[in-house]
Structure 1
Amino acid sequence: MLRDNLRLLQKGSSTVADFGRKFKAICDQLAAIGHPVAETDKCHWFLCGLGPSYEHFSTTYRALGTASFRELLAKTENQEIFMLSLHGTQQLSVAFTAQSHRSGNQSRSNPNSSYSNRGHGRGRSAGRGHGRRPPHCQLCRTVGHYANLCPNLASFAKQDAPIDANLA
């Protein structure tokens, strides 16, 4: 019955983080009773539960091969933030702040905090937002913000996709 619940679980209107917690809780219950779920099954059922709004993401992820469920969950949360940035900036700031708070990394919600004295060492703390250099936008190529917070993000998102022949 738990395995059926896992297969039938749907994200619906909940966030990816909430859906992931419910999904993982059922997986943990199955493991606790001696019926652990294989990583490939976790990834497959999780992708199925995301629903049609994640169809392209799910197809791409499956084509690239599955890694761990933990990695899939992190990538899906990032995709949710990206999709929110394309379709609504007010929702983006709420989701981005919630993810930053949950991960314990307050500087990710405020790109200007990269100037702080925290995290100058190597390892996990040396990631984005903790270096000595200010953030650099990959879209407009200016210093001071990341692409997800670019004031020109909407105009870049509306541009036509490049023709495959010109990608090389």
Structure 2
Amino acid sequence: MANTYPFPDNVHVTSSVTLKLNDTNYLLWKTQFESLLSSQKLIGFVNGAVNAPAQARLVVNGEVSNEVPNLQYESWFCTDQLVQSWLFGTLSEEVLGHVHNLQTSREIWLSLAENFNKSSVAREFSLRCSLQLLLKKDKSLSTYYREFKNICDSLSSIGKPVDESMKIFGFLNGLGREYDPIATVIQSSLTKLPTPTFNDVVNEVQSFDCKLQSYEDATAVTPHLAFNTEKTNPSDPQFASRGRGRGSGQNRGRGGYSTRGRGFTQHQSSSPSSGQRPVCQICGRTGHTALKCYNRFDNNYQAEAVQAFSSLRVSDGNEWHPDSGATAHVTPSTDNLHSATTYEGNDTVMVGDGNFGGLT
């Protein structure tokens, strides 16, 4: 009797099934192996479509009946052994140890499905949890993308590929707040046709990340930094040791910011805390105030050059004295003044006999 079962002898299994079955790639291995068997018309040996014939058949010769070997079984057995050899050749050593004692290719196939389908469900759950919890945080964008893609590839290998829209959502969700501008733009584009693919989204985020890196490398000038001044005593040695451009009112030089550009309001201050040197109201020199001037008790001292902004008669005589620029003046009589306002402060004045008197 002719052989009724196919028996291909020129098939290179490793060129069709490129994976060794292990705990993580069962569904992908199964897909490849089923394609091989279908191409050789042998898929029935593992899915139950082809059953094993009887090993012997009864032959009746007159009144005598004898059992003889069934040639169909021998043909089936040879083909089934061929499928078994293909299976064994694509299993890892650990997996082979669990099925090497089984008798038929179908028994091997069912045992593998029973064991690995259970592990595939558990692995799918683990991978999807990892994908949901994956965050960029302090990683580089390339590292985050590589980890994200590895998890998606692992899900595909067990026959549970991630939908394209879920890939985009998960990838954007794992980015930090600094990526919110580009994430908002991408989310708005998802409602338009054609919708962007996952690779399109990755390219957009990578371009945005390059912009962020360039901003971090350069010194960013903001209005908050430009006008954030530190109140420091100019006489403090630490103030002088901060370097050129730091701590000064002009904020020039390295480490400081200038507010002399467009879009910034120009602020000027003559207070000592702004870093400008005070001008003495007595001698007109810079670097000290009238309170510390050694000429303030010298009645014969005259300033070398005092710019007079206006003049003020301060006695009953006819002489005039230049305005010192002070905010308040003392005079025994207001008769010669065009206008006068009573002093509201708490300061006192020391008179010639050494006594102190309040101002009125």
> What is the number of residues matched between the two proteins?
93
Write the distance in 2 (CA, Å) between the matches of 1:75 and 1:17.
Answer: 13
Greater fraction of residues in helix: 1
Q: Is the 2:137–2:175 contact (alpha carbons within 8 Å) kept by the matching residues of 1?
A: yes
Q: Does 1:18 align with 2:114?
A: no
1:71 counterpart (200, 204, 226): 200
Which runs of no fewer than 5 residues in structure 2 stay unpaired? 1-125, 220-260, 264-360
Name 2:44's counterpart in structure 1.
none
In the alignment, which residue of structure 2 is the partner of 1:61?
186
Identical positions, percent? 31
Give the Å deviation of 1:10: 0.3
1:7-60 CA distance string (max 9 Å, x none) = 110001111111001000000000000000001000000000002111121111
- For the residues of structure 1 that align with 2:203 and 2:142, how far apart are their CA atoms? 9
Letter in 2 for 1:86: Y
One-letter amino acid of the counterpart of residue 209, structure 2: E
- Select 2:174's aligned residue among 35, 49, 61: 49
Q: Give me the whole-angstrom Cα distance separating, in 1, the residues matched to 2:218 and 2:148.
A: 28
My pick for the range that moved more, 57-66 or 36-45, is: 57-66
2: CA distance, partners of 1:159 / 1:36: 54
Partner of 2:212: 83
Question: Could you list the runs of 4 or more consecutive aligned residues of structure 1 that deviate by over 2 angstroms after TM superposition?
Answer: none
Deviation at 1:64, TM superposition (A): 1.2
Q: State the distance in 2 between where 1:59 and 1:18 align.
A: 22
Tell me how far apart the structure 1 counterparts of residues 204 and 143 of structure 2 sit (CA, whole Å). Answer: 14
RMSD of aligned residue pairs (Cα, Å): 2.2
Deviation at 1:87, TM superposition (A): 2.6
Cα distance in 1 for residues equivalent to 2:135 and 2:183: 14
CA apart distance, 1:159: 8.4
Uncovered stretches (5+) of structure 1, i.e. residues with no partner: 91-157, 161-168
| Distance verdict in 2 for CA 1:159–1:5, change over 3 Å | farther
Secondary structure of 2:136 counterpart: coil
